[in-house]
Amino acid sequence: MKKKTNLLYIHSDQHTPYVMGCSGDPLVQTPHLDSLAASGVIFKNTYCPSPICVPSRMSTLTGCFPYENECWTNAHVLDSGIPTLAHSLGAAGYNPILFGRMHAMGPDQLHGYAERYVGDHSQNYIESNDKSSVDHGELTGTQGPTRLSLTKSGPGQNAYQVHDEDVVDAVIGHLNKLGQLKNEGHEDPFCLSVGLMLPHQPFVARKEDYQLYDGKMTMPRIQEPFSDKLHPYFKEWRQNTCITDVTNEEILRARTAYWALVTRTDILIGKILKTLKENGLDNDTMIVYTSDHGEQVGEHNLWWKQTFYENSVKVPLIISWPGKIPPKQINNNIVSSLDLNATILDALNAPALPRSRGRSMMDLMTGESKWEDLAYSEYCTADGYIHRMIRMGDYKFNYYKGMPGQLFNLKDDPDECCDLFGLAEYADIQKTLQNKILEEWDPEWVETKMTTKSSDYTIFSSWANNTKPQEYYRWNLLPEMDYLDEVPS
């Protein structure tokens, strides 16, 4: 009987695809990701299901759009009755194991994984009473979309790096055990998912990494100063997050730290890949690297995610499978993280998920070129933002309920500086793309569902605060893990 293919699936948090050497960044040091890309294929146009953590991750797991999961915010709970990538891999005979980050809310912290180690730093339940283990010490408040994350940036320590080091140590220990079993004649197929927190803000990196870029960092290329000419959403967003005017010093510090955190992510991934090879486990192993969403890093004068601009809504995607996927491929087709879900299952001969919208990319990687260049993303919030994006061919259309849309020709305008919305000569393509967005997605229905979920949130929050449910998959974040070497003046 033919041995099953192994899977090593590495999933980071908030990594824009443009900050990698293999993506053309001349400054960043990512030798391990660059080598991985050279051994397989890098997808240059991969879109996340949502430019925010939980809905993107849950959609990548299920292969369903956020509206189908009814999971739009970081407080929403994925229905345990929806089968996931892990369920399908388990059904195919694997023992799927997760190390580290998943960011699922609610009592189901497995969603199909048979085993889980290290866990998330964050609470398993909405507004859990135990706040001590999410206390970021002197960096409290810098992990969210607030100006404070730019003000308190620079050299120091980000607790998320400590988390990821624990995750990687656990993965290395497991791979060493698998190597020992192999030497003893027991070589069962493995199926490992590795969830990292980096390079998510706080924009604070250890000095050894920060110094690699200190004094070398460049300013963002795409400048869009605050004014009344901004799209209404971005004007409100920048006002609400206090980034109407960010100093050059803050910009350079935050960007320097982010590049440093990407390098640290690469170093940690390199340790996993080295251990894989040292144990002779790299043969017939499909290795995947991706992230849940991107990071604006100051482009368009924006930070974090929460937008459909390319830095935020695109993610890195590298797939390496020596002997099965030809090396040194650069793929420019438009794909989605949902397609990655379907691709992994197809490659590992696991059953397709009945509800999945994903399309297998195996033919794209092995010579076939027939593909529809199409991807969607959603961003909906409890305070009334109901947004959806479509990328089809050269065009991207962004729908904002109650606001003007945005239309970009990314072939002619890759920096998204020339909004074509409302121009007569683009009326047909605008109508086509808006109709496709609204074919199965009803913004009024979404808004109603969001209102209901906000009411549910109140009950769940009070319940968690009063009952103090035990959290079985939780990494212990300590306040002293977060600090700056010196507080910026």
By DSSP bridging, strand 115-117 and strand 386-392 are: unpaired
3-state helix, strand, coil in the chain (%, to 5): 35, 15, 50
User: Can you tell me the distance from the alpha carbon of 432 to that of 439, in angstroms, rounded to the nearest whole number?
Assistant: 11
- CATH code linked to domain 6-484: 3.40.720.10
Residue 175 has pLDDT above 60, yes or no: yes
Q: What does pLDDT average to over the chain?
A: 95
> Strands, DSSP E only, in 337-459?
374-380, 386-392, 395-400, 406-409
Average pLDDT estimate for 128-147: 79
Residue 230 pLDDT = 96
How far apart are the C-alpha atoms of 29 and 20, rounded to whole Å?
7
Which pair of structure tokens corresponds to residue 148?
A: 């404070």
What is residue 439's DSSP assignment?
Answer: S
Q: Is the pLDDT of residue 473 over 60?
A: yes
Strands (E), 340-453: 374-380, 386-392, 395-400, 406-409
State how far the Cα of 50 lies from the Cα of 460, in Å rounded to an integer: 24
Angle, alpha carbons 142-75-470 (nearest 5°): 95
pLDDT at res. 1: 47
Percent of the chain beyond pLDDT 90?
Answer: 88
Q: What are phi and psi of 309, to 5 degrees?
A: -65, 155
The two three-digit tokens of residue 33, written as one number? 């990701």
What are the pLDDT digits (tens) for 39-81?
Answer: 999 999 999 999 999 999 999 999 999 999 999 999 999 999 9
Q: Is the CB of residue 331 less than 8 Å from the CB of residue 52? A: no
Per-residue confidence (pLDDT) for residue 470, from 0 to 100: 86
